[in-house]
Amino acid sequence: MSNITIYHNPECGTSRNTLAMIRNSGEEPTVILYLETPPSRDELKKLIADMGISVRALLRKNVAPYEQLGLAEETFTDPQLIDFMLQYPILINRPIVVTPLGTRLCRPSEVVLDILPGQQKGAFTKEDGEQVVDAAGKRIE
């Protein structure tokens, strides 16, 4: 059992790149397909608190429920926004990664490198062709 968890959407390139970087560090994380198995209210609140971000910062804006529910309006409370995320998990931005070194929303995907306990085992190039780790396993800035 890994000490790394990723809240993952396999349809998302950023999420796929993040998962691949975790695996490139020699770890096989616990993968939670959060659209199928959303976190509980308490889990979601803990993830937000552990990331040190606002509830609104976790909202995914470019999905249909965001527009349909009028979530751009600043009139919603944090508990209401959490209700919407639990009702429509697509509203939860991803990927969220939890490691012993912290919890982060990994956008861009290389943010995961800041919280991985292990070094990258080799070069890593994102799906779009951007190289983010060199052959020695060092992050390319």
Q: Is 27 exposed, middle or buried (0-12, 13-18, 19+ CB in 10 A)?
A: middle
- Among 4, 7, 8, 12, the active-site one is 12
Cβ within 8 Å of residue 90, ≥6 positions away: 35, 60, 63, 64, 65
C-beta separation of 29 from 5 below 8 A: yes
Catalytic residue status for 12 = yes
Q: For 50, what's the count of Cα atoms within 13 Å in the CB-facing half-sphere?
A: 17
**Any idea which residues carry the catalytic annotation?**
12
